[in-house]
Structure 1
Amino acid sequence: MRKDFDPATVGPDERSAAKARLFDPEADGPWRGNLEGATLSTRCTLLAYGNDSPGAGPQLHVHPYDEVFIIVAGNARFFAGDAIIDATAGEVVFGPAGVPHRFENLGPGRLQTIDVHQGPLWLQADIADG
C-alpha cells in the first residue's frame, strides 16, 4: 500500500472531474487531435500523433515548455538539440523547454504517440530545416 504523502495535507480545489475527446480513432491523417489543458482546467495539453510511413514526422520545432512523448505503438527516432534517441512502444521521451526537436517513424508499421505539452495551450514555433 502506497502512502507517499499525508492526504490530510491536501484538499480539493474548485475544479471538478471532467472528460473531453482527444481524438477520433477513425480519423485519417497524422494529427488525430489535440486537447488544450484549459478545456479540462489543467496545465497539460495533449496531442495524438501517428503515421504509417517510415521517415515521416513533424518538422523541427520548439516549445516554451517541456514536452513528454509517450510511444503507444511503433518505433521512433527523436532529434532534440544534439541528442538522438530511439524509442519504442511503451517508452517515454522527454523534450526540455526551448530545445528544438522533431521525431520520425522508424518503421516497420505505424508510429502512434501521445504528446504531453506542459502548458494549458499548445504553443509552437516551427523552424525551417536547413
Structure 2
Amino acid sequence: MARRDFDPDTVTPDGRPPALARLFDPAGGAAWRGFVNGDALRGPVTILTYGNDTPGEGPRLHVHPYDETFVVIEGRARFFVGETEVDAVAGDVVLGPAGVPHRFINLGPGRMQTIDVHHSPRWIQTDLE
C-alpha cells in the first residue's frame, strides 16, 4: 500500500547531514544496555535499550519530564506506570507520560528486551527508589 501523507515539495531539508552512533555492542554481556542522546545525532529524541534474562528484574522506579515510549522487541514485560500495570509482549508499544513515575520488569520465561524512546534530545531522569 503506497502512502502519501504529505506533499514532499512542502518540506525544506534543514541541512543536517546523516549521523551514526553506537547504541550497544552486540557482543557485550548478558544485560544488553545502551543509550544515544538525540544531541549526538542532532535529533529530537534519545534512544535507550534495556534487556535482561531474569524474571522479576528491571529498572528501578523513576520519572522523566517528558514522554517515554517503550517498544518490547523480545519477551514479556510488566510496566508499572503511575497506578496502572500494563503487561506487554514482543511487538507491543507502551507510553509512559511525562511526570508519571514508571518502571518495568521481565515477566519471563527467557529474555525481555526493549527499545526506549525518550522524547528529549538528552536523557533526563530522577530515580525514586
The TM tier, using the shorter chain, reads over 0.9
Q: Equivalents in 2 of 1:66, 1:42: separation in Å?
A: 16
Q: Counterpart of 1:124?
A: 125
Identify unmatched segments of 5+ residues in structure 2: none
Instruction: Give matches, 1:8-27, under 5 Å.
Output: 8-27=9-28
Q: Which residue of structure 1 aligns with residue 105 of structure 2?
A: 104
Of stretches 114-123 and 14-23 in structure 1, the one that deviates more from structure 2 is 14-23
Residues 1:31 and 1:61: Cα distance change in structure 2 (over 3 Å): farther
Q: Does 1:61 align with 2:62?
A: yes
Which runs of 5 or more residues in structure 1 are unaligned? Answer: none
**Residue 79 of structure 2: SS of its match in structure 1?**
strand
Separation in 1, partners of 2:83, 2:125: 19
User: Which deviates more, 110-119 or 22-31?
Assistant: 22-31
Deviations 1:41-86 (A, max 9, x none): 0011011100000000001000010000010100000000011000
The structural deviation recorded for 1:88 is 0.3
SS at match of 1:77: strand
Q: CA RMSD in A?
A: 1.0
Structure 2 counterpart of 1:92: 93
Q: In the alignment, what sits opposite 1:45? A: 46
The range that moved more, 17-26 or 102-111, is 17-26
Task: Measure the CA separation in 2 of the matches of 1:30 and 1:58.
Answer: 12
Alignment length (residue pairs): 128
Deviation of the 1:20 alpha carbon:
1.2
Q: Report the CA distance between 1:2 and its aligned residue.
A: 1.2
Residue 26 of structure 2 contacts residue 32 of structure 2 at CA under 8 Å; is this kept in 1? no
| Structure 1 runs of 4+ with >3 Å offset | none
Structure 1 SS opposite 2:49: strand
User: How far has the Cα of 1:29 moved from its partner?
Assistant: 4.7
SS at match of 2:103: strand
Separation of aligned partners in 1, 2:84 and 2:15: 41
> 2:111 corresponds to which letter in structure 1?
R
Percent of aligned pairs with the same amino acid:
61
**1:80 counterpart residue number:** 81
CA distance 1:124–1:31, change in 2 (3 Å): farther
